[in-house]
Each structure stands twice: as C-alpha cells, then as structure tokens.
Amino acid sequence: MAGLPLLTDNHVRQPIIKALRARSWDVVRAVDILGEENDDEELLAWATANGRVFVTSDDGIHAAAHKWLREGRAFRMIYWWAEHRRRMSDGEVVQALERLVARADAFAYAIEYIKPER
C-alpha cells in the first residue's frame, strides 16, 4: 500500500523508513535534505512547501506545530508521543501509519496522532 509523501526527522528509526519505502511510500529524511542541525519550524516549512507530511515524535516540533495552528498556518504532521515510541515496535509504527492513511477522515485536523493499538 503506497502512502502519503513524507518528510521524517531523526526521531523516526531507519527500519521504519526502510519498511515504508519497501511498501512504495515516498519518504525523504530531513537529514538528507537539510543536514543535521535544523530549526523545528524550518522542517515544517520545508515539508509544507514540498507537499509532504512531516513525521516525528519530537516534543519541540510538536510545540512548533501548535504555534502554527494558533497562527492559522496550513501543514500536515504525524506525531507519536515518546511513551508510545518506546512501546511500539517498528512494525507497529508502520501498521499505524498504514491504518491512518486508509481512514476517510485522515487529516481532518492538521496533526494526526498514532499510538499502539493495545
């Protein structure tokens, strides 16, 4: 199942990226495009300007995204809390992303949250 075009930050583990690419997802890593050190808003801006959904579990970027929401700025982001990141296997993250894009109401809100099924 091919999904949305994504931009991932360094909090997304490499096995997740590999699994998504193996399923024909268009995944770009921020480090490959913008280098190692990036401002949170720079990442959101690049993803938005390039029609990509930003994927992260970074609290700082989550805060920047809420600032964008307050400012009425358009973007799409997939986020999962650090506690979920610790509990979810790489395969569970991939499955959660696939379930998300299959939903008819995906991105009715700018930030979609993924979490363990159980």
Contact yes or no for 28/51 (Cβ under 8 A):
no
Q: Summarize pLDDT for 50-99 with one digit per residue, the tens.
A: 999 999 988 888 999 999 999 999 999 999 876 766 788 999 999 999 99
- Domain assignments of the chain as residue spans, ordered by start: 6-12+19-59+68-113
For every residue of 4-47, DSSP letters joined together read --EEE-TTS-HHHHHHHHHTT--EEEHHHHH-S---HHHHHHHH
pLDDT of residue 2: 67
* Type of residue numbered 28: V
Q: What is the rounded distance in angstroms from the CA atom of residue 59 to the CA atom of residue 106?
A: 22
20 pLDDT tier (thresholds 50, 70, 90): very high
Contact yes or no for 11/40 (Cβ under 8 A):
no
pLDDT at 1 over 60: no
